[in-house]
Amino acid sequence: MTVEFSIKNGNPEKQRNDCVIVGVFESRKLSSAAAAVDQAAGGYIDGILRRGDMEGKLGSSLLLHSVPGTLCDRVLLVGLGKERELHEREYRTAVGASVKALANGGAADVASFLAELPVKKQGIAWKVAQLAEVAMDSAYRFDQMKGKASKANKEKESKGIAKLIINVPQRNDLKKGEDGLSRGLAIASGVSFAKDLGNLPPNVCTPTYLAEQALALAKTHGLQVQILERADMEKLGMGSFLGVSQGSLQPPKLIVLQHKKGKKNQKPLALVGKGITFDTGGISLKPGADMDEMKYDMCGAASVLGTFKAIAEMNLPINAVGIIPTCENMPDGNAIRPGDVLTSMSGQTIEVLNTDAEGRLILCDALTYAERFEPEAVVDIATLTGACVIALGHHASGLFSNNDSLAKELLQAGENALDRAWHMPLWDDYQNQLDSNFADMANIGGRAGGSITAACFLSRFAKKFDWAHLDIAGTAWKSGKEKGATGRPVPLLTQFMIQRAGKSSS
């Protein structure tokens, strides 16, 4: 479903539409838009609150019909929590509650007055961008793979917000509102693209499919793109990446995307995304339960493509390179075995002690390949370890870096975008867990600190540049009833790019 957005400056009581959204603080304190409605309605809202129907608890809502003195059909009251505690996350919770409250109802044409709320440290543009992102997130559906009949049924049932007017408090906020809206919509479209790629089944979303998507993206947005085939990778000596792909009938691809909208001499930022389109574990086969979720093992790649879509739509003045090694990890007569030794493009040799630790094997060659772009910084994004999910759960991505100021920038971008990461150690103390008797290193470091030793492995291929690694195994998708890709960390990465673009232009 698509939502049509616009920015306006008007009075809540004068909106002629299906619903007006206004906020209520705890305890029963009206926001300025709610107060304006209340005044037009002769104290009607205040009366309802006093009767105890709503306290203003964060995330609560109350839908009212035919409020006197207004021109709209409905007024949705949204709980904002304590006024002094309305920070970024609370704001997003309130916005999320407002969208959810209308998701299955009859209100299609809606005006939200939540962007007027004071959120510490954030201005109109941020609030509008978040509103657009949250509304798009809630409107997202993945029914590409459903049959005709169930699709037709869905269409008929489809309800919820179709037109969303975002109100700003003053006329001279309109420009900031428009800027925030286009930024929010660009991020939302990157997120939605990444979700689609993640949700597609592994028999559709193959390495070849990802390469085609990159070609199409490049064509639409005027990006440069190059697809390296197996023969090209053989010439480059990518023995580690090719080792992982050799058990699959699907040909591997190395996708290279370039967005060149910055100054000519400006070094590019590189994003490297893990693109395992299905991870069976290989000969070190995974257990059967939930193995279907290993279709999400290309979410790092999807986040790179999503971020490039977002920065291209914004026409962000920056130079960026996206590098995506993509293949399948399958068991087969030709697959790599535990004990095999692979020679990476860097020349370093790797003893494969577990074929299920394949992400690092494809990323290491992609990192070496990144050197040729002389990048200002490299960020890799990967659903790399189950251990990261144990460490951080599903809330924060794991962040590792060989440069503390780069780490800080990424953490900051994550906070701002409400797509958080947490800084993990990359101390040398962990490195010897990767010792091998037969090669320069082993591809696993034992159970203890599994996400850290995986990052340590990658760090050996990232010596020539400032580098950060995001382990998104816990954040890229949801399991259970709400199973689906989240589109994370497209918001974090895009915000990082925006921050960098701001720095280099000023």
Q: CA 93, 95, 100 angle in degrees (round to 5)?
A: 90
Both structure tokens of 216: 């199409």
Considering only residues 81, 184, 359, 474, which one is a binding residue for Zn ion as defined by CB under 5 A? 359
Both structure tokens of 117: 């709320």
Query: Is 159 an active-site residue?
Result: no
**Which residue out of 360, 460, 488, 500 is catalytically annotated?**
360
Of residues 275-294, which lie at the interface with Zn ion (CB under 5 A)? 276, 279
Instruction: Give the separation between CA 284 and CA 277, rounded to whole angstroms.
Output: 17
CA-CA distances (angstroms) from residue 437 to 230, 241, 339, 432?
A: 30, 22, 11, 12
Considering only residues 73, 356, 365, 376, which one is a binding residue for ligand BES as defined by CB under 6 A? 356
* 471 binds Zn ion per the rule CB under 5 A: no
Considering only residues 173, 279, 365, 419, which one is a binding residue for Mn ion as defined by CB under 5 A? 279
According to DSSP, the β-strands at 19-26 and 29-30 are antiparallel
Q: Which of 116, 141, 121 is nearest to 2 (CA)?
A: 141
DSSP, collapsed to helix, strand or coil, labels residue 212 as: helix
Which stretch, 232-240, 316-324, 356-364, 456-464, contacts Mn ion (CB under 5 A)?
356-364
Sequence letter at residue 269: L
Question: Quick one: what does residue 327 bind among Mn ion, Zn ion, ligand BES, none, with the CB cut-off 5 to 8 Å set by partner type?
Answer: none
Alpha-carbon 314 to chain mean position: 16
Which stretch, 4-12, 200-208, 252-260, 383-391, contacts ligand BES (CB under 6 A)?
383-391
Question: Quick one: what does residue 473 bind among Mn ion, Zn ion, ligand BES, none, with the CB cut-off 5 to 8 Å set by partner type?
Answer: ligand BES
Instruction: Give the separation between CA 216 and CA 188, rounded to whole angstroms.
Output: 19
Considering only residues 31, 61, 246, 385, which one is a binding residue for ligand BES as defined by CB under 6 A? 385
Surface-to-core class of residue 1, CB atoms within 10 Å of its CB (0-12 exposed, 13-18 middle, 19+ buried): middle
Of residues 252-311, which lie at the interface with ligand BES (CB under 6 A)? 279, 297
What are the b/e assignments for 445-464, b being 16+ CB within 10 Å? Answer: beeebbbbbbbbbbbbbbee
Helices 404-417, 490-505: inter-axial angle, 10-degree rounding: 120
Residue number of the CB atom closest to ligand BES: 386
How many residues sit close enough to ligand BES to count as binding (CB under 6 A)?
16
57 or 286: CB nearest Mn ion: 286
* 351 binds ligand BES per the rule CB under 6 A: no
* 444 binds ligand BES per the rule CB under 6 A: yes
* 471 binds Mn ion per the rule CB under 5 A: no
Contact call for residues 245 and 229 (beta carbons, < 8 A): no
* 297 binds Zn ion per the rule CB under 5 A: yes
Of residues 86-125, which lie at the interface with ligand BES (CB under 6 A)? none
* 358 binds ligand BES per the rule CB under 6 A: yes
Query: Is 195 an active-site residue?
Result: no
Least Å distance, CB 223 to ligand BES, is 28
**Which residue out of 29, 286, 464, 478 is catalytically annotated?**
286
Alpha-carbon 153 to chain mean position: 30
Least Å distance, CB 294 to Mn ion, is 7
Instruction: Name the residues that contact ligand BES, by CB under 6 A.
Output: 279, 297, 354, 356-359, 383-387, 389, 444, 450, 473
Instruction: Name the residues that contact Mn ion, by CB under 5 A.
Output: 279, 356, 358
Q: Which residues are catalytic?
A: 286, 360
